[in-house]
Structure 1
């Protein structure tokens, strides 16, 4: 039996107001539901304010305009130190190890649902809310994270590290809306940011030329780009700057080896500092029957017993893939897919589902191509 999350006219909730349209409509819907609503604008990056990449001042102005339009109080806070220590240091560590991290996942766990939550509780709030497209369901077994109704915008992949305490305090007012409905409602309310472009790029750091940004923190270590047979094709900037399956930005256009077809990153050979590329998007070097992952997190707090059938995705918006958890422990898990998966990328997250419920996830350590994982 599902229980509706409590809504009380006296319950005080603080919305993370980013300046975007999603969080604005989240605040509006909470007002409609009878909450006592306030808002909080978080600044989490200030390393290059002068360069204007993050457009924090513009976002803050948009957040203020929304708060004024809705008639709610706007608080501001600077979590730059927390973001650097809890998210960005890990981000750099993973790139140095030639893995490809997903900072949005850790950002939600450590900033939006930890630092922000703690700050909001200190301000007297009982719950917090964000503009994520996701849904929380409470029953006698606890709190469950489910996909939002808009499958294209579903953000549970980025929320899979949340725990029971965080979910008990979280509200996702956009759970039953599509993105088009959100924009339509924003127009109806006369919000100036109704057509504002969705933010992309690194969480809280914003849009920028990624290789140039990374070069500020990691040294460039050039080396050869080769085919699996050892045919030289060019020079890479440093293995850390590439990810498995990457097609763009390889700098080897016009080198066809007899076939006019795009090249894809297949292997980062750290021993010889070689970048191995292939021309077939489903080349055997890019396909995996399973994977090993570390740091498993289960939202319910209960570890499933293998063999455990479920669905999984290896990246945001990827269609859900049937799989079996063939080994699960406190430190890691092993997964076998029903169908081979392309570009399994160490450092990224694998996130598990049953139906619409997000069960949790883990950090991909390595791919394998045999059923036993050997």
Structure 2
């Protein structure tokens, strides 16, 4: 039996699952994790909470996970109430639930590409029509571009990713407001995906825009700045009515007692958990300066990674670095590779490895 022999839905035929490589290499800088270890004191408190939770796992967990939602509301601030916060197993599940509630047959999801590769996969999985709108050469979204695309396509759901993955491009407040105003005319949903917001020191969170905008959703994750990728906890802030809509589609008891306990304890220690963010920004900037000096083009980034252009053969460079024990990301963008900012030692290793490949990286003509 092959996959093609199964009675798949038509819109899944020929598609491929999400597949970022997972290799046990010494330097893994391909999926934008926070590569710094958790503080020992925080680990101890999380273990204490997990021990308390595991003693009760013969019972179902709190279906509404109010302790976690209260903690997340406090972390986000800006007057949010627990009733305005929702969480799931990673921000991917948060986005999936949004499409389960507001997408589906006859409805559409629009975003600006290149952007997060899971958006079209989530659209396929919920039978929502995917509308990709190309970004300009500098990848930055202007109010005019956003408004024109939304007016043309009138999508049910629009996602603006800021900082954008995989380009790192910051998202300007004016573009969010302009997008919301046109979406509100016909009753769509606007999602601002802030998976990397904690790394952006120059742009205020879209959470501040929520008052008076009931069709706005702000999605977040604990996988990046919080260094909590293995726990799988994503969350959002929105009008309480949007949260109620997600309760219609979530699976019963979808957040385990252990996930709730670990995530709540981590949020209690937000300051310690985020203490490495400044170091990561510094390593990102050091990586950018070194790569520019080597002759590469580095796109402006407000995230914990860089999109780097100027590789003659990105696939060859990817494989050369992989053979050297360094894993970065080849996303199929011509001439480009994406590199996560890691620890000081990891950043040094990738700089030295790319420099050793020579101008243009692996596969370049040394005579040029």
Q: How does the TM-score come out when normalised to structure 2?
A: 0.30
Higher relative contact order (CA 8 A, sep 6+): 2
Structure 1 or 2: larger helix share?
2
Give the structure with the larger strand fraction. 1
| TM-score of the two chains, using structure 1 as the length reference | 0.30
Higher Rg of the two aligned structures: 1
